[in-house]
Amino acid sequence: MNTLFFGIVAGLTAAFFSSVSYLVARHHGTRDKHMSRRLLIFAHAIMGVICAVTVVSIFFKDGIVFGIWRWSIWYPCLKSTAAYFVGTSVVFRVLRTSDASRISPLLGLKIIALAFIVSFIYGVTLGFVQWFAVSLCAAAAILLQRGGSGLPARSLVLLSCGCICFATADLGIVEMIDAIQQSLPLERFSAGCLALLLTYILGGMVVLPFVFFEYARQPAPTRQDWIAAVQYSAAWLSAMFGLYACIGCVGVMLSTILQSTRGIMSVILGTVLARHGWNKLEGPVDHSILFKRLLAAAFMTIAISIYVIANSSR
C-alpha cells in the first residue's frame, strides 16, 4: 500500500475515533452524576495496562525498558500527564451539559494557548503568518459562539482552561521525546511512541488507587461502568495509534492537519445522530446553525494548517 495513502487514512481514522471518543464520553457522562468521574478513572486504568503490555512487548527485548528510568524523561512526563488529566477532566465536565459537536471544534483553541505560551513564557518569536492563524482560530471560535450555536459562557471558560492544559501537555511531550532521544538509541518516531505509552502508563498508575476508592463509594461500580470505560479506551487508543501511524508515514505537519479535521467530523457525526433520533446525545439544529458549525470547524482546521505549515518552514 502507498505510504502517503496509508498515512492519510491513518490520520483521518485518528480524527474520526477522536470524535467518537467524545461522543462516548457524552453518552455515558450524562447517564449518572458520577459516571464522568468513573469513566475517566476506569478508562485510564485500562489504557495504562494496555500501554504497559505494549511497552514490554516492543521495547523489552532491546533493553530499552532498562534505560527509561531517568529523571530527565519522567519529569516532563509528570508535567504532561498532570496537564493532560486536568484538561481531560474539564472536557468530560463540559460534555455533561453540551453536545460533542459544539465542543470538538473549539478544542482548536489550543493553538491560541500554544502560541501565547511559547511566545511569552519560552521567548519564541512567532511570525506574522502564525499570528494570523491564531487570529483566524479566534474568529472561528467567535463564529461558533454567535447565533446560539456555541457554549454557555461558563463552559467556554472551562474549555479554554482545558485547551491551556492540553497545550502544556503537548509541550511536555515534546520535552519528553527530546529527553528519550538523548538517553536512548531511538529515532524520533519510536521515541514519540514510547513517550505516548509511558504517559498513559503513568496515568494508569495515578488513577489505580481511585479505582479502589470508587468501590468504597455508593452506589458501587457496575459492569456497565467498565463497559463504558472499555468503549472509551478503544476509541481513544485507536485515535492515538492512528495518529502515530500517520506521523510515521507522512510526518508531523500533515498528521497535525489531518487530526484537526476532527472538528468537522464531530459536527457531521452529531448531525447524523440527531437525525436518527439520538437527541439526548446530540440536539437537533436547523440548517443555518449546522452551516455555521461546519464553517467554524473548517476555519479551525485552516487556522491549524496555516500555523503548522508556518512553524515547519521556520
Q: For 200-217, how does the pLDDT look when each residue is reduced to its tens digit (9 = 90+)? A: 999 999 999 999 999 988
pLDDT at 66: 84
Note the pLDDT of residue 2.
67
Structural domains counted in the chain? 1
In the three-class reduction of DSSP (H, G, I as helix; E, B as strand; rest coil), residue 185 is classed as coil
Cell of 18: 477522536
In 3D, which of 156, 168, 159 has the Cα closest to residue 82? 168
Q: Which residue bears the cell 470538538?
A: 104
Residue 86 pLDDT: 94
- Give residue 313's pLDDT band: very low, low, confident or very high (50, 70, 90): low
Residue 309 pLDDT: 84
Question: So what's the pLDDT on residue 123?
Answer: 85
pLDDT 10s digits, 269-308: 888 887 776 766 667 777 777 888 888 888 888 988 888 8
Confidence of residue 251 (pLDDT cuts 50, 70, 90): low
* Helix (H) / strand (E) containing 279: none
Per-residue DSSP letters for 68-122? ---HHHHHHHHHHHHHHHHHHHHHHHHHTTS-HHHHGGGGGGHHHHHHHHHHHTS
What pLDDT sits at residue 147?
Answer: 52
* Burial classification of residue 181, based on how many CB atoms lie within 10 Å of its CB (0-12 exposed, 13-18 middle, 19 or more buried): middle
d(CA 199, CA 192): 11
- pLDDT, residue 16, reads 92
> Which of these ranges, 146-150, 200-204, 217-221, 243-247, has the smallest mean pLDDT?
146-150
Domain limits for position 274: 3-312
Contact between 163 and 112 (Cβ < 8 Å): yes
Query: Burial letters for 118-152: b for 16+ Cβ neighbours within 10 Å, e otherwise?
Result: beeeeeeebeeebeebbebbeebbebbbeeebbbe
For residue 266, the model assigns a pLDDT of: 85
Q: Is the confidence at residue 252, as pLDDT, over 80?
A: no
Quote the CA–CA distance of 233 and 31 in Å, as a whole number.
18
Q: Give tens-digit pLDDT for 158-168.
A: 999 999 999 89
pLDDT tens digits, 109-133: 888 888 889 888 888 888 888 899 8
The closest alpha carbon to 10, from 252, 302, 197, 244, belongs to 244
